[in-house]
Structure 1
Amino acid sequence: MPVLSIVICTLDEHEAIDSVLSELGEHLQDIQHEIIVVDDSSDERTGDAVNAYAAGDPRIRLVRRYNANGLSSAAITGWDLSKGKFLAIMDGDGQHDPSLMRGLLDKLACKDVDVAIASRYLDNSRSGLPGLRHILSRTGIRLTDTTLGIPMADPLSGCFAMTRDWYMQARSRLSGLGFKILIDVVASGPRLPRMAQIPTVLRARAGGASKLDTRVIVDLITLLIEKRTHGRFRAESVMHGATICATLVAQWLSASILLTLACPLRITLLLSAGLGLAGHLWIKYLMTSRSLRPHSLRDFARQWMGFYASRWSDLPLNAGVAITLCTLHCPWPLAITAGVLLLEAHYHTTDKGRVVA
């Protein structure tokens, strides 16, 4: 039975994973451990590299996920399969020093510690991140501090360890959303965990690319809302609400412009319904991880046309409701709102809506 189970979540990090596994093996030679690599890569190169290394070390396992994305859900997948007394996570791109695992394990050896964290800002304000990413990291930390009030120097850390007992207490409340799994872990238990921290600075990335994009920011904000409200506002519901708001704003704005240009009301409502779909698609694009976004203009156009083809019935349904209400002397902004809300309710309660919405 392993003492320590380390989950490494990878996304196109074939260049770095071999050296990360090698360093971990060196630092944990005298500790019974297992390493579970959960791979969401777009191709098989990272998985092939892990399997090649694992051929000489049975303590290493590969879990390959397809059409899945997000470090948090990948971490939960790995921890659910683990057998160790203590559970840990670190990146597979070489930025986390594998020697940190021993320091985290030493902290957990104390009976009054549930979660041990490798914190970038414990001793000083340096993080090892370049300018803009450092600023965004510090901003995210302040936002987390203000929202949750949990005393951590680095709540956005991706390198930490915890007891299995704490994980089991928090498991049922984990949202598995996005890339900031530490916030999810410490805010999902029946009480605040007893925490210990050790200092660290990120190393240069040996492979892969930064995961920071608009989806990561959206995930962080919605996760904080979910945890702050104790699950009353689920992150998925907040994102769905943002999509509806984007659709409404696009439709209101386009209708206002068209009416100012003396466009007939019925044509205005029909055209604005189409432009409202554009707002819906755009906010979905911002909420999609970079790795899953179209990578060329041709792919983007194909996705755009596929979206409109799948939701062509929105136009007569949305505009039809709005036109009917306007004939009953309802103000057009309220008529548009009713059309959008009825439309989203329709898609939310159908299999079609769950696939494409």
Structure 2
Amino acid sequence: MNNKDSLSTAAPLLSVVVPCYNEVENVEELTRHLSETLQGIPWEVIFVDDDSPDKTSQKIADMAFQNPRVRLIHRIGRRGLSSACVEGMLSTSAPYLAVMDADLQHDATLLPDMLTALRSQQLDIVVGSRYIDGGGIGSWDTKRAAYSRFATRISRYFTQTELTDPMSGFFMIQREALMQRVRRLSGVGFKILLDLFASSSTPLRFLELPYTFKERHAGESKLDNRALLEFGMLLLDKWIGHIIPVRFAAFVLVGGIGVLVHFLVLLLLFRITGAPFAYGQAAATLVAMTTNYLLNNLFTYNDVQLKGWKLLTGWFSFILVCGVGAAANVGIASLLFQRQTNWMLSALAGIGVSSVWNYAVTAVYTWQAPSIGTK
């Protein structure tokens, strides 16, 4: 057996974890870059694909059949960059774990230097930074550059370090350092590095190495409103996640909007049009429940968001599962109103009863959502 064969079959020293979604045009080129860059190093690449509709997982499976360095984790019913990174890192026994994007915007040639630094210095993690001397953001437009600077400033508050690029998605960590912190990770959003630093009870010993962010090789950027929402959810979890689950906090915020909708509809039907209170309360409950369902699907359960036909069936599930709560809502509110209780207080009592049902059962039966922020 020649040296090349022995390296390909040796237990990996380095695992490169690559979360991907609709990256079928990039995964083969990235693997080629890694092969050129990591010569002489026992390595593997673990692609974690969230059931991409462009059949990225099939492409990776074909590659893995030909190349023992390539591994695939095909996730179905789960979404999210951070959780994909965690799952990929936990799937290997390699002592050094790198995370990078599939789109070739991260400079793979920096990986050997990262590995050398981790092996030769007393470090937990080496971060590729765009914001130290020698690094850069490439050809970003003004809007994206401004967003990055703003997010970086906020993130540094949560990390409590001098890390210049806490929003970086390109780093290498010692497995031991990961395992000491993994149970405190939120797994929320798309910035696992921020999660790692913000979840650490003891400061991570880190080094930053400069790199310039490159143009995407192929496909479309994933930086959209969803990414901004996930970033906000992560910060919210780091702020109050040790007190209450972040999903519940988001659910309560959405519920506040539902209360306003409920009273507006009830005011319109009962006070303005003169409809009987029970009818007004029933209609207001249905409209508020529908509003809460749509907003929670968009925000609270964004990572398992229902679309297409599932959006409709999910609505039916939401209404049916919460039927007991809705019936109690109308019944209790009507009973209190008949006993001369103020109409607003009567409505609030009904809302309070149904709220517990809305959160507890819909998480299981409507969205079948994984638990996050429940440390």
Unaligned 5+ runs, structure 2: 1-10, 368-375
Deviations along 1:186-227, one digit per CA (max 9) or x if unpaired, are 122221211111222322222343333444333322322332
Tell me the equivalent position of 1:266: 278
Match of 1:80 among 63, 87, 90: 90
The SS at the match of 1:132 is helix
In the alignment, which of 23, 43, 68 is matched to residue 13 of structure 1?
Answer: 23
Structure 1 equivalent of residue 202 of structure 2: 191
Aligned to 2:78: 68
Structure 1 gaps of 5+ residues are none
Cα distance in 1 for residues equivalent to 2:115 and 2:50: 27
Q: 2:22–2:219: 8 Å Cα contact kept in structure 1? A: yes
- Alpha-carbon distance in structure 2 between the residues aligned to 1:49 and 1:125: 32
**Cα distance, 1:125–1:61 mapped onto 2, change above 3 Å:** closer
What secondary structure does 2:53 align onto? Answer: coil
In the alignment, the residues of structure 2 paired with residue 139 and residue 335 of structure 1 have an alpha-carbon distance, to the nearest angstrom, of 44
**1:1-357 pair list within 5 angstroms:** 1-43=11-53, 45-123=55-133, 126=137, 128-229=139-240, 231-264=242-275, 265-287=277-299, 288-289=301-302, 292=305, 294=307, 304=315, 307-308=318-319, 311-350=322-361, 354-356=364-366
Aligned length: 354
Q: Deviations over 1:82-139 (max 9, x none)?
A: 1211111111122222213223223323432211111222237735433433333222
Distance 2:346 2:222 in 1: 41
8 Å CA contact retained: 1:318, 1:343 = yes
CA deviation string 1:236-280 (max 9, x = no partner): 232232232232232233333444523333222111111111221
**1:148-180 Cα deviation digits (max 9, x unpaired):** 433222212111111111101101111211211
Q: Name which of structure 1's ranges 60-69 and 36-45 shifts more when overlaid on structure 2.
A: 36-45
Counterpart CA distance in 1 for 2:344 and 2:220 is 44
CA drift of 1:8 comes to 0.6
| Equivalent residue letter for 1:116 | V
Shift of 1:69: 0.5
- Distance in 2 between residues matched to 1:216 and 1:325, nearest whole Å: 45
CA displacement, residues 59-95 of structure 1 (integer Å, 9 cap, x when unaligned) = 1111111111011111111111112111111111222
The DSSP-based 3-state class of the residue aligned with 2:332 is helix
Aligned partners of 2:159 and 2:197 also within 8 Å = no
Q: Provide closer, same or farther for how the CA distance between residues 255 and 120 of structure 1 changes in structure 2, counting only shifts above 3 A.
A: farther
Given that 2:50 and 2:78 are in contact with CA atoms closer than 8 Å, whether structure 1 keeps it comes out as yes
Identify which range, 305-314 or 160-169, moves more after superposition.
305-314
Alpha-carbon separation, structure 2, partners of 1:230 and 1:290: 17
Amino acid at match of 1:168: M
Instruction: Sort the Cα spacing of 1:106 and 1:284 in 2 relative to 1 into closer, same or farther, 3 A.
Output: same
- Pick closer, same or farther for the CA change 1:130–1:317 going to 2, 3 Å: farther
User: Percent of aligned pairs with the same residue?
Assistant: 27
Contact 1:216-1:289 at 8 Å conserved across structures: no
* Mean CA deviation greater in 234-243 or 190-199: 234-243
Q: Aligned partners of 2:199 and 2:59: how far apart in 1?
A: 34
**1:320-348 alpha-carbon deviations (Å, 9 max, x no partner):** 23222333344344333332332131344
Identify if the C-alpha distance between structure 1 residues 349 and 283 changes in structure 2 by more than 3 Å, giving closer, same or farther.
closer
The answer to whether the 8 A contact 2:96-2:174 is kept is yes
Letter in 2 for 1:19: E
CA distance in 1, matches of 2:159, 2:183: 19
Following TM superposition, by how much is the alpha carbon of 1:306 offset from its aligned partner in structure 2, in angstroms? 5.6
Distance 1:130 1:307, change over 3 A: farther
User: What's the TM-score, normalizing by structure 1?
Assistant: 0.88
TM-score (normalizing by structure 2): 0.84
Amino acid at match of 1:163: Q
1 CA distance for matches of 2:40 and 2:94?
15
SS in 2 for 1:99: helix
Give 1:318's aligned amino acid: N
CA distance in 1, matches of 2:336, 2:138: 56
Cα pair 1:148 1:224 within 8 Å, conserved: no
Structure-2 change in CA distance of 1:72 and 1:305 (3 Å): same
Kept in 2: contact 1:127–1:201 (CA 8 A): yes
Which shows bigger deviation, 102-111 or 53-62?
A: 102-111
